[in-house]
């Protein structure tokens, strides 16, 4: 898509671009290329000497069982959060789509958690499920359930998943609702005349027509789980216990900061970049297809 009516101007367009380009080059391209470069270096602890070591950082990384564990954790975490937040949001959205009088109120009530910072969301859930003082911990214990996310890795995972899902429902709800409202009523009416009941109509008409939204949200959710949940994990578990909630992004942070292994951390960054670029590419292909409709 291009404008056909434009201004002439030799210098002006460059001047207009300068601020964004300078910021992008200094704070995006320079560090990103540094990450790639660093991933081929070994630096001593004080950052005084560095040595080119080729793919050694990558080899070391891929030889680490912890790295595979972080990958597995990321996959589990992403799938749980995406599946739960998408299906819960879809359930709420289909209900809110039913021309209810109070639908606008429900809508506001559902979307505001989007504005809550992930770290804050984490703290809220940590407080509710805190093993010793949490409001929910007591009932759990009374039911004979030995709840302790500080020590039990599965419990810790459950807790960060809850916090992450809680925060993400708002976003998914909003997009699902928009998607539902974009489905023409007449199509559903035709379905009703053709004898499909509400349940059948949902699965044979609404859900397939909603699939572009669902797919889009799936990708966005995975990206969200990869990056935005850093705050939740850091606030709730700090990656523990025993690395049970250390995702790939968290590991980049932990290895670089706590371990001081900048080369290894950079190699992890590069791998993450590749994954994100792949995800984004998928998303763009989808967007392109959407545009062609």
Site membership for another protein, residue 204 (CB under 8 A): no
Q: Is 19 in the site for another protein (CB under 8 A)?
A: yes
Report the residue from 68, 190, 257, 285 that binds another protein according to the rule CB under 8 A: 257
| H or E element that contains 43 | strand 41-43
Counting Cα atoms < 13 Å in the Cβ hemisphere of 281 gives 6
Token pair of 192, please? Answer: 């009703």
Which residues between 55 and 114 bind another protein (CB under 8 A)?
88, 91-92, 95-96, 98, 100, 102, 106, 108-114
Q: Is 209 a residue that touches another protein (CB under 8 A)? A: no
Q: How many residues does the chain have?
A: 293
Of the candidate residues 72, 194, 198, 204, the single one contacting another protein (CB under 8 A): 198
Segment 21-50, which members bind another protein (CB under 8 A)? 21, 23-32, 34-35, 38
Nearer to another protein, 56 or 97 (CB): 97
Q: How many CA atoms lie within 13 A of 172 on its CB side?
A: 28
Q: Residue 183, interface with another protein (CB under 8 A)?
A: no
CB 88 to another protein: min, Å: 8
157/169 with CB nearer another protein: 169
**Could you tell me the smallest distance in angstroms from the CB atom of residue 228 to another protein?**
8
Distance CA 119, CA 135 (A): 19
CA distance 55 to 73: 25
| Cα separations in angstroms, 83 against 148, 180, 226, 231 | 24, 19, 14, 20
């Amino acid at each position: 898509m291009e404008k056909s009516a434009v201004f002439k101007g030799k210098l002006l367009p460059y001047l207009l671009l300068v601020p964004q380009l300078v910021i992008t080059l200094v704070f995006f391209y320079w560090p990103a290329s540094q990450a790639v470069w660093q991933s081929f270096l070994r630096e001593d602890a004080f950052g005084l000497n560095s040595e080119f070591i080729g793919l050694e950082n990558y080899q070391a990384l891929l030889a680490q069982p912890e790295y595979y564990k972080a990958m597995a954790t990321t996959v589990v975490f992403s799938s749980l959060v995406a599946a739960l937040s998408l299906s819960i949001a879809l359930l709420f959205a289909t209900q809110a789509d039913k021309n209810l009088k109070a639908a606008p109120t429900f809508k506001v009530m559902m979307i505001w958690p989007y504005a809550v910072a992930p770290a804050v969301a984490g703290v809220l859930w940590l407080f509710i499920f805190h093993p010793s003082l949490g409001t929910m911990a007591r009932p759990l214990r009374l039911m004979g359930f030995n709840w302790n996310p500080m020590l039990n890795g599965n419990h810790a995972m459950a807790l960060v998943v809850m916090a992450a899902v809680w925060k993400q429902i708002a976003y998914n709800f909003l997009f699902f609702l928009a998607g539902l409202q974009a489905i023409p009523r007449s199509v559903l009416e035709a379905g009703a005349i053709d004898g499909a009941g509400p349940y059948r109509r949902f699965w044979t008409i609404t859900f397939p027509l909603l699939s572009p939204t669902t797919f889009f949200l799936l990708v966005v959710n995975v990206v969200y789980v990869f990056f935005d949940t850093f705050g939740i994990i850091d606030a709730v578990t700090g990656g523990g216990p025993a690395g049970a909630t250390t995702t790939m992004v968290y590991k980049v942070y932990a290895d670089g900061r706590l371990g001081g292994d900048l080369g290894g951390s950079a190699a992890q960054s590069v791998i993450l970049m590749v994954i994100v670029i792949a995800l984004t590419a998928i998303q763009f292909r989808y967007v392109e297809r959407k545009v062609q409709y």
